[in-house]
């Protein structure tokens, strides 16, 4: 039996990876998207802007049914609510790609799906804060589909081809440029993330297995290290860049913001580290998540960037990432 997937979005990053994985499995795939980017070949397109009053008209105008709908919406919960309500009688299962940001701060190391949650924005609210909006989207999906037909995928850091946040693309671009590079230590800093393609495969497998409820989605802590990630960037780009490993105290004393000015990196201890790189993922690993080596993620992301001429797309609703060259030079004493 051919499974039928409806993807809300599906032309960028996570959505695109899900669509490509579903097509590779032989699924019948329909996208509802705004038409700003070409969808993957083989998928059927419906056009609509979910932020507009008539943005779901293309869905309302068809009697099609689907085995699953996947929604990655990150802003105000209303578009999640409106689509979920429209589709509740025509789709067997709702998958909402959420975030570990829905857990209250601070988060203790090893926090699981049972950890306390933020209250969440109301389903009809305008955009508020990322964490509140994501939790609001979860609540909207469950309201329409019920616990028995809802899957909440609470992702940690996501890397890989099509990334439109700019974290790994920034590192690849900086290292490709060569010269001394501020490499924030320690080299052995354990990272926890998921390649977007491994995320997509897990989602489709979860649909096939009829999983429900919430799942924290990331690799086991320490799947890679900061050193392994940056070394892979050097190899993938063929750069002659010199990684100058700098202790965390020096980085922080320079006023450099972890995570944003130095993407992916956080200090090795403290609340930020425990929240980002100590996510409890036992439930997800037991249900089949497989994570490819960091070298493959880096190399494939570099090849994708090269195919675009080196300029990665970037979401305008997220802050720009990366370190000012003048700040880097000052810290390195250049």
Q: Which residues pair with 312 in a beta bridge?
A: none
* Distance of alpha carbon 302 from alpha carbon 237, whole angstroms: 7
- Distance of alpha carbon 23 from alpha carbon 184, whole angstroms: 39
Burial of 62 (0-12, 13-18, 19+ CB in 10 A): exposed
Mean pLDDT on 195-202: 98
Q: Are 271 and 206 in contact (CB under 8 A)?
A: no
Tell me how far apart the alpha carbons of residues 194 and 94 are, in angstroms, rounded to a whole number: 21
187: its two tokens: 């080299």
* Crossing angle for the helix pair 226-237 and 294-307, to the nearest 10 degrees: 40
Q: What is the pLDDT of residue 315?
A: 78
Residues forming beta bridges with residue 70, ordered by sequence position: 7, 95
- Assess contact for 175 and 211: CB atoms under 8 A: no
Query: If pLDDT is split at 50, 70 and 90, which confidence band does 109 have?
Result: very high
CA distance 32 to 55: 9
Q: What angle do CA 142, 56, 25 make, to 5 degrees?
A: 70
- The encoded tokens of residue 161 equal 């081809």
- pLDDT tens-digit map of 219-262: 999 999 999 999 999 999 999 999 999 999 999 999 999 999 99
Q: Which of 241, 271, 251 is closest to 323 using CA atoms?
A: 251
pLDDT of residue 317: 77
Express each pLDDT in 39-98 by its tens digit. 999 999 999 999 999 999 999 999 999 999 999 999 999 999 999 999 999 999 999 999
pLDDT of residue 318: 78
Q: Tell whether the model's pLDDT for residue 124 goes beyond 90.
A: no
Domains of the chain in start order, with CATH, are: 4-155 (3.40.50.720), 163-190+223-279+294-332 (3.90.25)
Q: How far apart are CA 300 and CA 160, in angstroms?
A: 7
Over range 126-138, report the average pLDDT.
Answer: 94
3-state DSSP assignment of residue 244: strand
Nearest to 223 by CA among 162, 274, 281, 283: 281
Q: Would residue 10 be called left, alpha or beta, if left means φ above 0 and alpha means ψ between -120 and 50 degrees?
A: left
What does residue 26 show for φ and ψ, rounded to 5 degrees? 85, 15
Signed CA dihedral, 88, 94, 98, 104: sign only = positive
pLDDT for the residue numbered 319: 80
Q: Are 44 and 69 in contact (CB under 8 A)?
A: no
Distance, CA of 279 to CA of 223 (rounded, Å) = 12
Query: Residue 333 contacts by C-beta under 8 Å, 6 or more apart in sequence?
Result: none
Q: Give the percent of the chain with pLDDT over 70.
A: 100
- Cis link prior to 68 (omega < 30° from 0)? no
**107 — pLDDT class (breaks 50, 70, 90):** very high
């Amino acid at each position: 039996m051919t499974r039928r997937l409806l993807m809300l979005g599906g032309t960028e990053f996570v959505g695109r990876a899900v669509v490509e994985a579903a097509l590779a499995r032989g699924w019948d795939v329909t996208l509802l998207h705004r038409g700003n980017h070409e969808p993957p070949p083989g998928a059927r397109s419906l056009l609509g802007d979910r932020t507009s009053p008539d943005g779901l008209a293309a869905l309302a105008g068809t009697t099609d049914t689907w085995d699953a709908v996947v929604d990655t919406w990150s802003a105000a919960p209303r578009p999640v609510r409106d689509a979920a309500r429209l589709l509740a009688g025509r789709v067997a299962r709702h998958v909402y790609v959420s975030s570990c940001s829905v857990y209250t701060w601070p988060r203790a190391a090893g926090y699981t799906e049972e950890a306390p949650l933020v209250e969440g924005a109301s389903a009809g609210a305008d955009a508020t804060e990322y964490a509140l909006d994501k939790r609001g989207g979860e609540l909207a999906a469950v309201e329409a589909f019920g616990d028995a037909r809802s899957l909440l995928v609470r992702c940690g850091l996501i890397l890989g081809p099509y990334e439109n946040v700019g974290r790994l693309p920034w590192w690849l671009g900086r290292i490709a440029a060569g010269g001394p590079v501020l490499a924030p230590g320690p080299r052995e800093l354990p990272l926890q993330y998921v390649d977007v393609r491994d995320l997509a495969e897990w989602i489709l497998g979860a649909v096939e297995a009829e999983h429900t409820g919430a799942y924290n989605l990331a690799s086991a802590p320490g799947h890679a290290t900061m050193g392994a990630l940056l070394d892979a960037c050097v190899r993938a780009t063929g750069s002659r860049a010199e990684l100058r490993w700098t202790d965390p105290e020096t980085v922080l004393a320079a006023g450099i913001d972890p995570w944003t000015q130095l993407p992916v990196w956080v200090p090795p201890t403290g609340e930020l580290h425990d929240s980002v790189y100590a996510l409890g993922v036992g439930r997800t690993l037991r249900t089949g998540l497989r994570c490819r080596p960091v070298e493959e993620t880096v190399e494939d992301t570099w090849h994708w960037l090269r195919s675009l001429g080196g300029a990665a797309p970037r979401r305008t609703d997220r802050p720009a990432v990366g370190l000012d060259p003048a700040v880097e030079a000052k810290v390195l004493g250049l």
